[in-house]
Amino acid sequence: MSPTASLRESIIQHLRYSFGKDPEHAILEDWRMALSYAVRDRITDAWIGATGKTYDSGAKRVYYLSMEFLIGRLLEDGIVNLELVDEAKAVLEEFGKDYGTVLSDEPDAALGNGGLGRLAACFLESLSTIGCPAHGYGIRYEHGLFRQSFVDGRQVEQPEHWLEQRHAWEFERPEVRYRIGFGGHVDRRGETVRWYPAEVVEAEAFDTPVIGWKGRWANTLRLWSGRAIHPFDLDRFNHGDFAGAAQPEALARTISRVLYPDDTTEQGKELRLKQEYFLTAAALRDILRRFNNQFGDLRKLPAKVAIQLNDTHPAIAGPELIRVLHDERGLSFEESMEIARGCLSYTNHTLLPEALETWDETLFGRLLPRHIELIDQIDSTHAKQNPSRMNSMRADHQVKMGQLSFVMAHHVNGVSALHTELMKTTVFEELHTLHPDRIVNETNGVTPRRWLLACNPRLAGLITESIGEGWVDDLEQLKGLEPFIEDTGWLDRYAQVKRDNKAELSNWMGTTHGLHVDPEMLFDVQIKRLHEYKRQHLNILETIAHWAEIRDNPTADWTPRLKLFGGKAAPGYFFAKDIIRLINDAAAVINADPVTAPYLKIAFLPNYNVSLAERMIPAADLSEQISTAGKEASGTGNMKFALNGAPTVGTLDGANVEIREHVGAENFFLFGMTAEEVMERRKVEGHAWKAVQADPRLKRALDLIRDGRFSPGEPERYHGITANLEGADYFLVCSDFTDYWRAQREVDTAFKDTRAWAKMAALNTARSGWFSSDRTIRGYMADIWGAQSLL
Ligand code: Z15
């Protein structure tokens, strides 16, 4: 049977026997689910094969512990990795269904906030493509990241409920359940120590297979869901308390109810600590059970198990592993600590002080009374071995998760070259002096299957036609495009791909948001979480200043530009929400100005998520990566844009530094202070005010905002923003404005030379091969995990 015939048969079978429909009566969701099941069957075969091979080989396994997995939709990922795109399109067409419409019916699983969660998802896909035996462990949140809409320009949050729609990808594992305890007391009988928790909930496993390129391998994402041990209190029911009878279940489920919506800020809330322990304890129990079944001797644990902590969120893994080995399995404390360290490694994702997790010791001790004792013991053991006793993890009545993670890990890694160097000289300076070989760099990457092959089929097609399909799992082969770039015929085709992608995005914005834009404009895109350090306000200030200048001289030869924004603000981050509102208010005024209309438009697309990124990135001409130097640990959106042929306007921050080195300085619009200059400038008294006085354009933009030009009748609406910028301006928006302005005018000039611009864009694509997450994962395997591919 041909692949198309076989796919058709399986879809029809699933429509009939899984969903009880024939093609005549199937609704869109039935088609989406039947296609998903047909694809899932093929994934499952690869998955079961890979599981068997892993077991038989006795190889070391990798476990990636993360509070977030921002996986997005999975159907297209499965189809693309199994190379079934043409077949799926053909079958759906036979039944009069549109492929894109069926794909978009899938809920977008937003079990993460931003970069950290999306990185975890790219890593899982690369681990499968490479054939490294691995599991991802996370939480099966009932509600992922909130949905965002705008009301009068303001962000409004609605709960997200991805599980409400049918979802094809998970396998419930009722046989895999563990009891997880909280609170209670610690009991000592001579040498033996026992923790007796007061509250116990059950963690139940749900598995999602993660398929790699060409279906050669599949790993597992195992997510834990909270449930009560005795779901129903019959005693209360029998006494007439019907609502109370269901309470234990409601309480237990609270643990996995909702994802905390803060990116790079910690709230220190008790439920969050419960979630962290719930994930970690369930994962470790599962890892030890699997190890025990296969190997038994706990001393071999570090040879067979590599556990990666995605940020400090699962840092309780150190003390928990010691507790199990020492309290429950009877190994000595010292040996338990050595075994745990042999297994654990930790990735740091930020140097922002507000993101470094610390817990109040009273709260911590109440929830995890045995763990806080063990942390003290870890701390004093570490101090004994390293007499200077610097950098304690137990100061100021706090538990410091960064220090704990560092001490309990055999390797600690940063996520870009600059970030890793800054780790050594700032937060981890003292610990780095004690352990100079522990910190290593693993620059982030993105999976080219999702972020080029699937999301940009036109460009992928041109590339494959030019250099073959080897680039898909060997992205450095994109270098082979460089000779083609000299060929004007080829370059015109490259430029045509971008034009087609822009037209497609314009059409979509028109039909879904009523936003009508000219696809000939320069599409200038800033999409990422809202944060002061990411400086969306620098972007809108420059836009306002530019608008004022066009109005001064409307007949000049301006480069038409569309400023596109997307991103969510944490619900409690009021300054970030004000920035969103300012952008929307400025858009309303500027978009309505007939004088500037041919040259400038602004759009903030609501509810930015993985699927929207997949639409926007292929259509971008320019990538905004304008964080205050030293603040963005890496960035990964920056890589996706470069790969898809959008040059960067950016600072020397995070992975921008490495992107510029790879694509060439002449293909990157650099501006702004370096991380060192930033630290110096902060010491200059009145730096912001001085910068405002020195640049009349900046002054004018701030005046327009302060005078209520974008908030008619309410000039004070943005005084919080203007006062901050002219005052403390911690993120140096004003100090970097003038150079940002200059870089943007260079962009205007460069964009006018269509051919030169296309060349710059194509060179960004050809030289971005290094930013594949396959390269990143190979780095972790070799430098940190000691793991091997089984392919
Ligand atoms: C998050 O998305 C990141 C860091 C964090 O500490 C938290 Cl809590 C969330 C981001 C970084 O801001 C970004 O620069 C980096 O590329 C990403 O993690 C993945 O490493």
- Asked whether 395 and 403 are in contact (CB, 8 A), the reply is no
Average pLDDT over residues 19-46: 98
Per DSSP bridges, beta strands 411-414 and 109-111 are unpaired
Distance CA 62, CA 305 (A): 6
Residue closest to 10 by CA, chosen among 40, 44, 48:
40
- Read off the amino acid at residue 39: V
Active site residue 300: no
Is 636 touching ligand 1 by the criterion CB < 6 Å?
A: yes
The contacts found for 205-208 with CB under 8 angstroms, 24 or more apart, are 205/172, 205/173, 205/176, 205/177, 205/282, 205/286, 206/140, 206/170, 206/171, 206/172, 206/173, 207/170, 207/171, 207/173, 208/71, 208/74, 208/169, 208/170, 208/171
Query: What pLDDT is stored for residue 270 in this prediction?
Result: 95
Ligand 1 atom with minimal separation from the 415 CA: 20
pLDDT of 388 strictly over 80: no
Ligand 1 atom with minimal separation from the 119 CA: 19
Measured in Å, residue 113 CA sits from the centre of ligand 1 at 9
Measured in Å, residue 509 CA sits from the centre of ligand 1 at 29
Catalytic residue (choose from 42, 135, 534, 581): 534
- Read off the amino acid at residue 543: T
Measured in Å, residue 351 CA sits from the centre of ligand 1 at 10
Q: Residue holding tokens 């036609």?
A: 465
pLDDT of 420 strictly over 90: yes
Is 415 touching ligand 1 by the criterion CB < 6 Å?
A: yes
Residue of the CA atom closest to atom 5 of ligand 1: 264
Handedness of CA 716, 720, 721, 722 (dihedral sign): positive
Residue of the CA atom closest to atom 13 of ligand 1: 635
Is 349 touching ligand 1 by the criterion CB < 6 Å?
A: yes
Active site residue 717: no
Is 355 touching ligand 1 by the criterion CB < 6 Å?
A: yes
Is 773 touching ligand 1 by the criterion CB < 6 Å?
A: no
Dihedral angle computed from the Cα positions of residues 290, 447, 119 and 112, in that order, rounded to the nearest 10 degrees: -90
Q: Residue holding tokens 């419930």?
A: 172
Average pLDDT over residues 606-631: 98
Measured in Å, residue 655 CA sits from the centre of ligand 1 at 12
Measured in Å, residue 635 CA sits from the centre of ligand 1 at 7
Is 116 touching ligand 1 by the criterion CB < 6 Å?
A: yes
Is 633 touching ligand 1 by the criterion CB < 6 Å?
A: yes
Catalytic residue (choose from 54, 280, 420, 636): 636
Distance CA 57, CA 59 (A): 5
Residues in the chain, overall count: 791
Average pLDDT of the chain to the nearest whole number: 96
Q: Residue holding tokens 């007949």?
A: 555
Measured in Å, residue 349 CA sits from the centre of ligand 1 at 5
- Asked whether 447 and 682 are in contact (CB, 8 A), the reply is no
Helices (H) and strands (E) in the chain, counts: 34, 23
Measured in Å, residue 261 CA sits from the centre of ligand 1 at 13
φ, ψ (nearest 5 deg) of residue 211: -90, 145
Per-residue pLDDT of 261-294, as tens digits, reads 998 788 889 999 999 999 999 999 999 999 999 9
Q: Any bridge partners for residue 441, and if so which? A: 414
Is 634 touching ligand 1 by the criterion CB < 6 Å?
A: yes
φ, ψ (nearest 5 deg) of residue 686: 65, 30
Per-residue pLDDT of 103-160, as tens digits, reads 999 999 899 999 999 999 999 999 999 999 999 999 999 999 999 999 999 999 999 9
SS3 content of the chain, % helix, strand, coil (to 5): 55, 15, 30
- Asked whether 271 and 217 are in contact (CB, 8 A), the reply is no
Per-residue pLDDT of 498-551, as tens digits, reads 999 999 999 999 999 999 999 999 999 999 999 999 999 999 999 999 999 999
Distance CA 776, CA 440 (A): 12
- Asked whether 774 and 129 are in contact (CB, 8 A), the reply is yes
Active site residue 640: yes
Per DSSP bridges, beta strands 600-605 and 622-625 are unpaired
Indicate whether this complex's ipTM tops 0.95.
yes
Q: 700 vs 495, 564, 597, 650, 742, CA distance in Å?
A: 37, 23, 20, 23, 16
- Read off the amino acid at residue 256: S
Ligand 1 atom with minimal separation from the 352 CA: 6
Catalytic residue (choose from 140, 528, 546, 662): 528
Is 311 touching ligand 1 by the criterion CB < 6 Å?
A: yes
Active site residue 89: no
Q: Which of 265, 348, 349, 444 to mutate to test the pocket of ligand 1 (most atoms within 8 A of CB)?
A: 349
Distance CA 159, CA 234 (A): 32
Catalytic residue (choose from 640, 706, 759, 778): 640
Residue of the CA atom closest to atom 4 of ligand 1: 349
Q: What is the CA radius of gyration of the chain?
A: 27
Per-residue pLDDT of 453-491, as tens digits, reads 999 999 999 999 999 999 999 999 999 999 999 999 999
Distance CA 710, CA 544 (A): 10
Q: 612 vs 73, 194, 317, 558, 686, CA distance in Å?
A: 11, 50, 35, 29, 40
Per-residue pLDDT of 729-755, as tens digits, reads 999 999 999 999 999 999 999 999 999
Q: Which of 113, 259, 262, 263 to mutate to test the pocket of ligand 1 (most atoms within 8 A of CB)?
A: 263
How does residue 85 score in pLDDT terms, banded at 50, 70 and 90?
very high
Q: Which of 260, 264, 416, 442 to mutate to test the pocket of ligand 1 (most atoms within 8 A of CB)?
A: 264
Query: What pLDDT is stored for residue 191 in this prediction?
Result: 83
- Read off the amino acid at residue 327: D
Average pLDDT over residues 9-38: 98
pLDDT of 356 strictly over 90: no
The contacts found for 693-700 with CB under 8 angstroms, 24 or more apart, are 694/738, 695/737, 695/738, 695/741, 697/545, 697/548, 697/549, 697/737, 697/738, 697/741, 698/541, 698/545, 698/734, 698/737, 698/738, 698/741, 700/545, 700/548
Measured in Å, residue 257 CA sits from the centre of ligand 1 at 23
Query: What pLDDT is stored for residue 181 in this prediction?
Result: 97
Q: 292 vs 178, 230, 611, 640, CA distance in Å?
A: 16, 28, 40, 41
Catalytic residue (choose from 40, 450, 529, 546): 529
Is 569 touching ligand 1 by the criterion CB < 6 Å?
A: no
| Three-state secondary structure call for residue 225 | strand
Measured in Å, residue 350 CA sits from the centre of ligand 1 at 6
Average pLDDT over residues 410-434: 96
Distance CA 174, CA 177 (A): 7
Per-residue pLDDT of 684-710, as tens digits, reads 999 999 999 999 999 999 999 999 999
Query: What pLDDT is stored for residue 127 in this prediction?
Result: 98
Measured in Å, residue 725 CA sits from the centre of ligand 1 at 25
Is 263 touching ligand 1 by the criterion CB < 6 Å?
A: yes
Residue of the CA atom closest to atom 19 of ligand 1: 116
Distance CA 176, CA 267 (A): 31
Query: What pLDDT is stored for residue 100 in this prediction?
Result: 97
- Asked whether 562 and 517 are in contact (CB, 8 A), the reply is yes
Average pLDDT over residues 338-360: 95
Residue 385 half-sphere exposure, CB side, CA atoms within 13 Å? 13
Query: What pLDDT is stored for residue 36 in this prediction?
Result: 98
Residue of the CA atom closest to atom 7 of ligand 1: 264
Q: 342 vs 301, 315, 335, CA distance in Å?
A: 8, 15, 10
Ligand 1 atom with minimal separation from the 313 CA: 8
Distance CA 726, CA 734 (A): 8
Query: What pLDDT is stored for residue 242 in this prediction?
Result: 83
| Three-state secondary structure call for residue 420 | helix
Residue of the CA atom closest to atom 18 of ligand 1: 116
Per-residue pLDDT of 575-604, as tens digits, reads 999 999 999 999 999 999 999 999 999 999
Residue of the CA atom closest to atom 8 of ligand 1: 264
Residue closest to 65 by CA, chosen among 124, 149, 132, 143:
124
Query: What pLDDT is stored for residue 390 in this prediction?
Result: 64
Catalytic residue (choose from 42, 60, 349, 450): 349
Query: What pLDDT is stored for residue 389 in this prediction?
Result: 58
Residue of the CA atom closest to atom 3 of ligand 1: 116
Measured in Å, residue 221 CA sits from the centre of ligand 1 at 20
pTM exceeding the 0.80 threshold for the entire prediction: yes
- Asked whether 694 and 738 are in contact (CB, 8 A), the reply is yes
Query: What pLDDT is stored for residue 267 in this prediction?
Result: 83
Residue of the CA atom closest to atom 1 of ligand 1: 116
Active site residue 21: no
- Asked whether 532 and 688 are in contact (CB, 8 A), the reply is no
Active site residue 534: yes
Q: Which of 346, 350, 653 to mutate to test the pocket of ligand 1 (most atoms within 8 A of CB)?
A: 350
| Three-state secondary structure call for residue 9 | helix
Ligand 1 atom with minimal separation from the 348 CA: 6
Query: What pLDDT is stored for residue 235 in this prediction?
Result: 86
* HEC assignment per residue over 532-572: HHHCHHHHHHHHHHHHHHHHHCCCCCCCCEEEEEECCCCCC
Is 442 touching ligand 1 by the criterion CB < 6 Å?
A: no
